[in-house]
């Protein structure tokens, strides 16, 4: 059986979807078979980030409702052959906790890792997927508002029975931390009350690749890509130093 990781954020704008796509690619680069599930019904974006929009036929709603199999709905990436994506329906849909769990269990049977890109916020839909997952990661930016929302999301996940909740601090700019204009990482961990799985420095290439449907791993070797690779290694159980190959002062 595979491992399912739900990725959430207390608020929008943290770079959660870019985080999910790059972590998935990094896991694939390590030889894993990975499924990305976009669960943001009505506001889906993973197909755009990964340049896979022209291949989308079915959504996870179709799988839950029995209109198609998971194998039929999960589309493969043109370049990363062991990367699969299951998109969200184009219009909002409501499913029960049991239906969400059944989808998660089906994914576990076929993929070594399943990454669930949850909608922003702390809705019942988010918590249902987080409760069904084996692990959860909260993505936050290093500002007080995002960290407070991330803390609330983590608390609710633990109330849903999720025992493994970590935080990834994204879009970190060391120059702002040096000037006291952004929260440093130690303070961010204290404020969120969650263990740290990694930090990702700000990188214009992440936005450029996301807008162009390209992969950061192939476009440029950057500190952000190294940070994603480090986090993927930690997910796989490897011991990797926090800033290994990333550089900067955080």
**What CATH number is given to the structural domain containing 158?**
3.40.50.300
pLDDT number for residue 45: 83
**Which residue matches tokens 């699969």?**
84
Rounded alpha-carbon distances, angstroms, from residue 227 to 16, 168, 233: 14, 10, 10
Q: What is the block-wise mean pLDDT of the chain (250 residues), using blocks of 10 residues?
A: 91 88 95 94 83 87 94 92 92 88 94 93 82 92 84 85 88 56 57 81 78 72 85 92 62
Inside any domain, residue 195: yes
Inside any domain, residue 245: no
pLDDT number for residue 247: 62
Question: What span, in angstroms and rounded, lies between the C-alpha atoms of 242 and 168?
Answer: 11
- Count CB neighbours of 117 within 10 A: 28
Inside any domain, residue 211: yes
Q: For Cα atoms 30, 104, 231, give the angle at the middle one, nearest 5 degrees.
A: 30
Rounded alpha-carbon distances, angstroms, from residue 64 to 31, 95, 168: 28, 9, 30
Inside any domain, residue 61: yes
pLDDT number for residue 192: 63
Inside any domain, residue 41: yes
pLDDT number for residue 184: 61
pLDDT number for residue 181: 43
Q: Domain total for the chain?
A: 1
Question: What span, in angstroms and rounded, lies between the C-alpha atoms of 79 and 215?
Answer: 9
For residue 55, give the DSSP letter. G
**Three-class SS state of 52:** coil
Cβ atoms of 22 and 228 closer than 8 Å: yes
**Three-class SS state of 114:** strand
Range of the domain at 230: 3-235
pLDDT number for residue 1: 83
Pairing state between β 135-140 and 3-8 = parallel
pLDDT number for residue 71: 93
13: left (phi over 0), alpha (psi -120 to 50) or beta: left
Inside any domain, residue 248: no
Which stretches of the chain are DSSP H helices?
16-29, 46-49, 60-64, 70-73, 97-108, 124-132, 144-159, 174-178, 185-192, 204-212, 216-219, 223-235
Inside any domain, residue 229: yes
pLDDT number for residue 94: 82
Rounded alpha-carbon distances, angstroms, from residue 74 to 129, 155, 157, 192, 210: 18, 31, 27, 34, 20
Inside any domain, residue 180: yes
């Amino acid at each position: 059986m595979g491992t399912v990781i739900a990725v959430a954020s207390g608020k929008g704008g943290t770079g959660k979807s870019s985080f999910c796509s790059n972590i998935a690619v990094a896991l694939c680069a390590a030889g894993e078979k990975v499924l990305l599930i976009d669960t943001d019904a009505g506001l889906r974006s993973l197909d755009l980030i990964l340049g896979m929009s022209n291949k989308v036929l079915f959504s996870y709603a179709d799988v839950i409702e029995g209109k198609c199999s998971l194998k039929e709905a999960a589309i493969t990436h043109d370049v990363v052959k062991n990367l699969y994506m299951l998109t969200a329906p184009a219009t909002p849909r409501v499913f029960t906790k049991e239906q969400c769990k059944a989808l998660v269990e089906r994914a576990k049977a076929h993929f070594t890792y399943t990454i669930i890109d949850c909608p922003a916020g702390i809705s019942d839909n988010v918590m249902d997927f987080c409760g069904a997952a084996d692990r959860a990661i909260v993505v936050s930016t290093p500002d007080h508002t995002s960290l407070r929302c991330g803390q609330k999301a983590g608390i609710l996940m633990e109330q849903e029975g999720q025992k493994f909740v970590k935080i990834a601090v994204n879009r970190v700019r060391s120059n702002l931390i040096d000037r006291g204009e952004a929260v440093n990482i130690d303070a961010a961990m204290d404020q969120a009350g969650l263990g740290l799985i990694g930090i990702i420095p700000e990188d214009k290439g992440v936005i450029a690749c996301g807008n162009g449907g390209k992969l950061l791993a192939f476009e440029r070797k950057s500190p952000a890509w190294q940070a994603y690779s480090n986090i993927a290694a930690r997910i796989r159980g490897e011991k990797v130093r926090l800033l290994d190959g990333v550089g900067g002062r955080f």
